[in-house]
Amino acid sequence: MSPIHLLQLLIFSVCIYSFSVFTYLVFYYDLISSVLFNEVQSEYDFIIVGSGTAGSLIAHRIAKETNYTFIVLEAGGRGHPFHDIPAFGPLLHQSIFDWNYETVPQENACFAMEKAKCKLTQGKIFGGSSKLNNMVHVQGNISHYVEWFHGKYTKNYIEEQFNYMKSNIFHLSNIQYESNLSDAVLKAAEELNFNLLDKDFEIGFIKSLVTQNNGKRWTTSYNLETSKYVLTNVLVEKLLFNDSTCVGVQIHSPKKIKLFAKKGVIVSAGTFNSAKILQLSGIGPKTLLDSLDITVRKELPVGNNLQDHIGTGLDLVLFNNAQSVQMFDIMNPWNVFQYFFKGRGPLTTPGCEVVGFISTKNETTPDLQFMVLPVGISADRGSYLRKALRIKDSVWKKYFSQIFDKHSATFLTLLLHPKSKGEVRIQSSDPTVPPLIDPKYLSHKDDIRTIANGVLMTRKLIETESLKAIGAHINNLPFPGCENFEIFSHLYLECYIKHLTLTSYHPVGTCTMGLPDSNKSVVDTSFRVLGIDNLYVVDGSVLPTLPSGNINAAIAMMANIFFENNIKQRYSMNIKISCDKITFKELVQKVCPVR
């Protein structure tokens, strides 16, 4: 490493260390505050487990549109407004606000990572994983959602849900700061006869639409009054039952407490943790529960059908000159002023500036998504990003550290509809022990072929005049472990993908929604856990398949449908029944009270 690169590493490391210390201080301040000041009632109408996109949206609408009592239980802390600076999002990965999950060693993937384990970032913070993501809002193909509900809801009805959220729930905006790369990529796409989209689920390319408000990260949790409705640093250990009815939860905060729900428990803890909580509570595969001496409450395929958007392409594109935000841009006082006073500048960057959707089979539905990030992990000289991904030292030295004299970008090529499916299994009856997560990445050969075709499409993009004009060229360094294959040959790409396997952190499917008579279903199309009354699961875990794009918008849509058809409908019915019981005399007294 040259002296200048060593100096950069030192500066970046000091800044990142300072941010980490600040993050720890925020966490422990909130932890102490929650222990001292959390007020807990013994009973509520609804208990919501998890404050991510789904949990916070449901809670917000309950608070706004009903008089039901409820509490949101969040395992993580509240965070700080500094954590909402978009450019700082990656620094929360592998922090105390991350569950720090990882896969088990993979047989066909993640070879470039330590012990062949891929990192699985999941938010352990008020707001959930939406506090750690790229903020990209993709509505996706609505026909897929109609299939999820088995025709229960029409395409128009689901479209209405998205429109409602855009008008009443979400804050959406165009990216406030973009690099030279974004326009060049769109021009390159046009050169290859791709459409520039105004909708995000057709074939073509579009600039990212992001969940931001005045340049600041925005999540559904911002609609919720935390002091009144949310308990942080609360670990849900298991669900409580009376026969086949869920009546509450047992929590640890910092002592064991039982909380009861009169009308329902809504589990929105995420694809990994929702499956974990159900299994700990005796809902899941009988063989697993028996092996851990957990009483079987209901045998269901909880933890099966795990799917994720995975791909490759990290630091695959190189430039002679910087095209995007550099580390020193983020530390520039003028740019800090721009962010805090105008909501603009490099600190608002979402990371992903352009998304593209292509079909490798010449179909109308895409099977690949491109996420164009105008920066690579070599940008911080190894001070943080490579550690967050757990890249092996040998791979770092032979590949990524060799391009320090260049400026890298990432054209992440993501598989939208993988055929490989994995599982989540608890490994102990102790709720503090993380689950075993085996996504079985690339276990189906078709997945490798599709991603390989995507990498070849990236190469075609880079060879266009539009990208050549700004100095783009492919990183032709052979990837460590694949040196024996001709670069960009089929065998090389298969090797490259198996080594540099990247997840976009979009896990779904472990509590699959479906018809009650299916042996694959955990919840029905009303989100109720099969065979259990007053227990619902509403988050990414219920998605039977992956949407054609980022999953946050789809999860919010599902949560909105749950509220409309379970809570709001029930509340309206109760109001009607109450009104029907009022006599004429009582009505007169209410309208014209005696004075």
Distance CA 192, CA 524 (A): 44
Which token pair is 455? 């990498």
234 annotated as belonging to a binding site for a ligand: no
* Cβ 211 vs Cβ 202: under 8 Å: no
Q: Is 336 marked as a binding-site residue?
A: no
On whether 133 is known to bind a ligand per the annotation, the reply is: yes
H/E element, 259: strand 256-267
How far apart CA 307 and CA 437 sit, in angstroms, is: 11
**Contact predicate 118/102, CB 8 Å:** yes
Among 74, 54, 155, 124, residue whose Cα is nearest residue 536: 54
Please check if 523 is assigned to a binding site: no
Q: What is the dihedral of CA 92, 93, 95, 97, to 10 degrees?
A: 70
CA atoms of 465 and 192, how far apart (whole Å): 11
- 231 sits in which H/E element: strand 230-231
- The rounded distance, in Å, linking the Cα atoms of 558 and 562 is 6
Q: How many residues does the chain have?
A: 595
> Phi, psi at residue 304, to the nearest 5°?
-80, 175
Give the separation between CA 512 and CA 211, rounded to whole angstroms.
27
Give the span between the Cα atoms of 521 and 544, in whole angstroms: 9
Among 124, 209, 126, 211, which Cα is nearest to 169's?
A: 211
134 has binding-site annotation: yes
Strand pairing of 204-207 and 354-358?
A: antiparallel
User: What DSSP designation does 378 have?
Assistant: G
Name the amino acid, one letter, at 319: F
Q: Is 135 labelled as part of a ligand binding site?
A: yes
375 and 352 Cβ atoms separated by less than 8 Å: no
Taking CA atoms, 92 is separated from 20, 100, 132, 488, 528, in Å, by 9, 10, 7, 34, 33
C-alpha to C-alpha distances, 496 to 342, 400, 454, nearest whole angstrom? 43, 14, 13
Q: Which residues are annotated as a binding site?
A: 133-136, 236, 540
Q: Which residues are annotated as a binding site for FAD?
A: 133-136, 236, 540
